[in-house]
Structures are given as structure tokens and as C-alpha cells.
Amino acid sequence: MTRVRVEVNGTAVEREVEPRLLLSDFLRHDLGLTGTHVGCEHGVCGACTVLLDGASARSCLMLAVQCDGLSVTTVEGLARNGELHPVQAAFREHHGLQCGFCTAGMVMAAVSLLDELPDPSERDIRLGLEGNLCRCTGYHNIVQAVLAAAGEKP
Ligand code: FES
Ligand code: FES
């Protein structure tokens, strides 16, 4: 077992974990943060996307021990004082989801994209989210939601 110290959604966490434990399993099974979904488990679908020190990363491709000393943000960490994050609110407003399986990963990828590119074009958004697969929506409303969220940013 190896000791790992990470900040998860603003809270310091310290655990003994097996060195082979995936970050996605650490979040879901050890910490109960099941908002992060696991689809393909090999880096293709993007459902497991979280932020590592603010940048998007696929938690199924990382080991928990690789995050030692880093800050992890999951979808549970986006809302503030009961208010949805602007990207979450825009997904709701613009019907950017159907079954919801991809949604946490889409939202986290969109938050990271808007952080890097605050005023993206539709093409920027489509390129920025091309690593996140959705089997339901056809992507149109997701793109509209991200455009709307960009417009609401201060
Ligand atoms: S579950 Fe991680 S990319 Fe699909
Ligand atoms: S909303 Fe169902 S997979 Fe995207």
C-alpha cells in the first residue's frame, strides 16, 4: 500500500491505496464520488474526465498515486453555495443531456476548455470536446450549452 495525499474538491484527503488503483476507482469507490462515470475504461469516451490542478484529465488513465500532491476537481465540486456552475446551468437550460452518462465528463471538459479559451467559436468547442463521446444528443445542444456558458462568464 502507498500513502496518497490529494485535495479533492477543496478538501484534503489522505488514504492508503494500492499502487495499481485507478484514479477513477479511487474517486468512485474510496471517496464515494460517483458523479465521475466510467464508460470505456481505456481513455476513449471521456466519461471519466476530471480536473487535475485545473486541467482536464481522464481519471481511468491515471493512478491515484500519480495524483499525490495535486488538486482534483470532480463534478461534485463545481457548484458553489447551492448554485450550479455556469456550465452546469447552461447544460440544463439548453438540454445538453439526455441519459446523462457522458454529462459529468462533458461538463468537466467544457469547464477546462472555457478556462483555456474563454470566448470559443462553435468549431473550437467541437474540437475541444471531440474526445468526449455522447451516444444520445447528437452534440448540437451540448455545443449550444457551452456557447451560452461562455457568454455568461464574467
Ligand atoms: S472511462 Fe475514461 S475515457 Fe472512457
Ligand atoms: S447524454 Fe447520453 S451519452 Fe450523452
Cβ–ligand 1 contact at 38 (below 6 Å): yes
CB 26 within 8 A of CB 34: no
pLDDT confidence of residue 154: 41
Q: In what order do the strands lie in the sheet with 49-52?
A: 11-17, 2-8, 71-73, 49-52, 55-58
pLDDT confidence of residue 151: 84
pLDDT confidence of residue 127: 97
Cβ–ligand 2 contact at 133 (below 6 Å): no
pLDDT confidence of residue 86: 97
- Candidate from 26, 34, 40, 135 with most ligand 1 atoms within 8 A of CB, to mutate: 40
**Distance, CA 138 to ligand 2 centroid (Å)?**
9
Residues in the chain where the model's pLDDT stays below 70:
153-154
pLDDT digits (tens, 9 = 90+) for 37-69: 999 999 999 999 999 999 999 999 999 999 999
Cβ–ligand 2 contact at 132 (below 6 Å): no
Interstrand relation of 71-73 and 11-17 (parallel, antiparallel or unpaired): unpaired
CB 14 within 8 A of CB 3: yes
CB 141 within 8 A of CB 95: yes
